[in-house]
Amino acid sequence: MIEVCLIGAGGRMGLEIVRTLSADSETQLQSALGRSHAGQDAGELAGIAANGVVLSTDLSATLGGKRPDVALDVSVPGAVMGNARECIKAGVPLVIGATGISESDVSVLDGLARDAGVPVLIAPNFAIGAILMMRFAAEAARHFDNAEILEFHHPKKLDAPSGTAFKTALLMREARGTDFERVGGDDANAPGARGGQIGGIALHSIRQPGFLAHQEVILGMAGQTLHIRHDAISRECYMPGVLLAIKRVRDLEAGVHFGLEHVM
């Protein structure tokens, strides 16, 4: 049985994970962190039977007790670095599902994790379909000169572009070996209208009610376009990837591994 410390247990994603761990025969919620619902039973909060795991706000004290097998952080971007430092210091393998982590932060965590001999998996997206979308986009990037990414999320999404869009652009640029060609007019009349730029790829972030998480990669060349799209209809789509990460992160080498594909 893999005992899990869940950070961000009181959020929408966290509550879905509490329900998933309860139904899985190989994992168990050992401890839970959450500021908004501190002191409440995680099971009752998630709408299932009480499980005796009470949400705490002190990660250091939690890790200082009975050490979990794996920690999973689905909290907010601003808390990730502090949480990761605590987990690495305690020697606990870590899965980070929160997005908005900068490249410099990844580099810092990689050094800390290597020194401590701890594997860390950063998963900008847990949906298997989204990982395949990124893989297909990277393959297509070798054959097209122009590309744009549109990502659609709910209004409470904190970062822009999303971690998935950012990683997709990096993978596409790496696969192509050079920047994409920028096309179209300027945005002098409305600065930002052409989106943010990564490797010549324009990224557009849409935040509207009615969306959960959606991304479309559009690649073009003379006379044709290719659309690669993934739609997350409910947070259930993330749960197979969450379980996969929890069960396999301990098999990874020490250091940071960026992307769920490292355990697929």
Q: What type of residue sits at position 57? A: T
Q: What is the pLDDT of residue 121?
A: 98
Question: What is the DSSP annotation of 84-106?
Answer: HHHHHHTT--EEE------HHHH
Query: Are 146 and 188 members of one domain?
Result: yes
For 183, which DSSP code? Answer: -
Query: Are 178 and 160 members of one domain?
Result: yes
Query: Are 113 and 240 members of one domain?
Result: yes
Q: Which residues of 205-234 are buried (b: 16+ CB within 10 A; e: fewer)?
A: beeeeebebbbbbbbbeeeeeeebebbbee
Instruction: Report which of residues 186 and 242 the model is more confident about.
Output: 242
CA trace torsion 16, 128, 250, 75 (10° rounding): -40
Closest residue by Cα to residue 83 from 58, 47, 108: 58
Query: Are 115 and 240 members of one domain?
Result: yes
Query: Are 68 and 165 members of one domain?
Result: no
Closest residue by Cα to residue 180 from 193, 195, 192: 195
Query: Are 175 and 118 members of one domain?
Result: no
198's enclosing H/E stretch is: strand 196-198
Q: What is the pLDDT of residue 188?
A: 61
How would you classify the pairing of strands 146-153 and 213-221?
antiparallel
Domain range spanning residue 186?
Answer: 128-233
Q: What is the pLDDT of residue 81?
A: 93
Query: Are 240 and 114 members of one domain?
Result: yes
Query: Are 66 and 163 members of one domain?
Result: no
Mean pLDDT, residues 250-257 taken together: 97
4-34 per-position pLDDT tens digit: 999 999 998 999 999 999 999 999 999 999 9
Query: Are 110 and 35 members of one domain?
Result: yes
121's enclosing H/E stretch is: strand 119-122
Query: Are 118 and 6 members of one domain?
Result: yes
Closest residue by Cα to residue 166 from 217, 115, 108, 221: 217
CATH number at residue 168: 3.30.360.10
In the predicted model, is pLDDT for residue 187 greater than 90?
A: no
Catalytic residue IDs = 153, 157
Query: Are 103 and 10 members of one domain?
Result: yes
153's enclosing H/E stretch is: strand 146-153
In the predicted model, is pLDDT for residue 38 greater than 90?
A: no
62-102 per-position pLDDT tens digit: 998 889 999 999 998 889 999 999 999 999 999 999 776 78
Q: What is the pLDDT of residue 102?
A: 81
CATH number at residue 69: 3.40.50.720
113-163 per-position pLDDT tens digit: 999 999 999 998 899 999 999 999 999 999 999 999 999 999 988 788 998
The count of domains in the chain is 2
42-54 per-position pLDDT tens digit: 999 999 989 999 9
In the predicted model, is pLDDT for residue 226 greater than 70?
A: yes
What's this model's pTM, rounded to 2 decimal places?
A: 0.83
Query: Are 225 and 158 members of one domain?
Result: yes
| Distance from C-alpha of 179 to C-alpha of 198, rounded to nearest angstrom | 8
**Inter-residue contact 260 to 247 (CB < 8 Å):** no
| Distance from C-alpha of 129 to C-alpha of 133, rounded to nearest angstrom | 6
